[in-house]
Structure 1
Amino acid sequence: MVLASQLRAGMAIQYQKQDYKVIAAEYHPGQGQMGGSTHARLQSLDTGTFWEHSFRADLRLEEIPLQRQALEFLYADSDQCYFMNPETFEQTEIARALVGPQASLLEPGMKLSVEFVGGRPVSVLFPEVLEVKIVDTAAPMHQQQDNTFKPAKLENGVEVMVPQFIKTGDLIRISAQNLKYMDRVKAKHG
């Protein structure tokens, strides 16, 4: 059991017979005779939907143990993503909806951490930053001094907005959370 005031992002809890992962939690101390509260953003481990709730700080919640395992992405079809444990070669199916919009970033051979509750996969953890290659974009416009962006297609087919100076063949970094351009990878000399 864990007190609501001790909730932290990344924990898994059971509340009203439902399993949730804590996405964010913020404790607010009470004033005077009012007790504190914890405002939490939760994601259902069954449906993937998000929910915000304020808990009394002294409420006891059941903490669910999360197991984390490194898996290798194999392939995806219209509604499932298939991963393999590189040590045991055991394959795991994960619903594309559970992977979320980042499913489009998956490439065969990519190694990711997958969280399990009781042997059931509940979330796929992507690195915060991914390095990807531009395969198609408009010619760079060096004379422009403003912060305008143009569309660029990545190796995996995802389209992102990039600054005007980016050209086809460049390696860039994007945020895996919101698929936004972060910076250009410098060429390695040597």
Structure 2
Amino acid sequence: MSAGPQHVQQEKTVVKVIASSIRKGNVLDLDGKLAVVISAENIHPGKGTPVTHLEMRRISDGVKVTERYRTTDQVEKAFLEEKDYNYLYEDDMGFNFMEPETYDQIAVSKDVIGDQAVWLQENMSCKLSLFEGNAIAIELPARVTFEIVEADPVVKGQTASSSYKPAKLENGARIMVPPHIASGTRVVVMTADGSYVERAKD
């Protein structure tokens, strides 16, 4: 007795979405070839048509591809197998993650994580997109909390609305923070662009 179609597992599902909805880490189907989005920018010129500028890396050969679409154009977004993994450590193989239920470990290459690596924290839960058993894209939590280890001293009379000042986090990243934030303060940061959100409540 043959298995019904409901038992056939597809590695990917492709859905048409508008270009402006595409984000870093998404996977697109470009004429049958999958590509991971490295950066996505919606550009709204003063005159003319708003466009979405995408930089991608083809999964099959690693070649970088740049495409420009009108923001309302339809593109084919591929939905792959996604699983939550916990970050363990970095070694020569890349960044190692563990599936919390099966304890299976997977190494994610530095190319896949890119400049987001600075925000990884031990046991952080991240969503990995898998294709043929390999992690091809990663989604970090939107916000992370780090302690500030260096910041210019607080100047008396400055208010929160004054211009931001540079500060260094415990992970080595440099961000801009309000003038009243001092060294030793734990702050919440957006992983997408490293922007300051608020003083941590914990």
TM range (shorter): 0.7 to 0.9
RMSD value, Cα: 3.5
Which residue of structure 2 lines up, in the alignment, with residue 106 of structure 1?
Answer: 120
Q: Percent identity?
A: 24
Which of 184, 194, 198 is 1:179 aligned to? 194
Unaligned runs of 5+ in 1: 27-37
Q: Distance in 2 between matches of 1:3 and 1:72?
A: 28
Any conservation in 1 of the 2:149–2:184 contact (CA below 8 Å)? yes
Which of 169, 173, 177 is 1:154 aligned to? 169
What secondary structure does 2:194 align onto?
A: coil
* Structure 2 counterpart of 1:109, one-letter code: N
- Deviation of 1:172 after TM superposition, in Å, equals 1.1
Q: Distance in 2 between matches of 1:64 and 1:181?
A: 32
Listed one character per residue, the Cα deviations across residues 50-70 of structure 1 (whole Å, up to 9, x for unaligned) are 522449x99996x64411111
Distance 1:75 1:165, change over 3 A: same
Distance 1:119 1:169, change over 3 A: same
Provide the TM-score with structure 2 as the length reference.
0.68
Distance 1:166 1:87, change over 3 A: same
- Deviation of 1:48 after TM superposition, in Å, equals 7.8
Which residue of structure 1 lines up, in the alignment, with residue 4 of structure 2?
Answer: none
Equivalenced residue count is: 174
Provide the TM-score with structure 1 as the length reference.
0.72
Distance 1:168 1:51, change over 3 A: same
Which residue of structure 1 lines up, in the alignment, with residue 182 of structure 2?
Answer: 167
Map residues 68-107 of structure 1 onto 2, 5 A cutoff: 68-77=82-91, 80-107=94-121
Distance 1:20 1:40, change over 3 A: farther
Distance 1:162 1:40, change over 3 A: closer
Q: Distance in 2 between matches of 1:73 and 1:130?
A: 14
- Is residue 9 from structure 1 mapped to residue 22 from structure 2 by the alignment? yes
* Structure 1 counterpart of 2:34, one-letter code: D
Q: Distance in 2 between matches of 1:173 and 1:60?
A: 34
Q: Distance in 2 between matches of 1:125 and 1:2?
A: 19
Distance 1:42 1:114, change over 3 A: same
- Deviation of 1:19 after TM superposition, in Å, equals 1.0
Q: Distance in 2 between matches of 1:169 and 1:41?
A: 38
* Structure 2 counterpart of 1:155, one-letter code: E
* Structure 2 counterpart of 1:139, one-letter code: P
Any conservation in 2 of the 1:131–1:172 contact (CA below 8 Å)? yes
What secondary structure does 1:66 align onto?
A: strand
Listed one character per residue, the Cα deviations across residues 28-55 of structure 1 (whole Å, up to 9, x for unaligned) are xxxxxxxxxx967362242384522449
- Deviation of 1:90 after TM superposition, in Å, equals 1.5
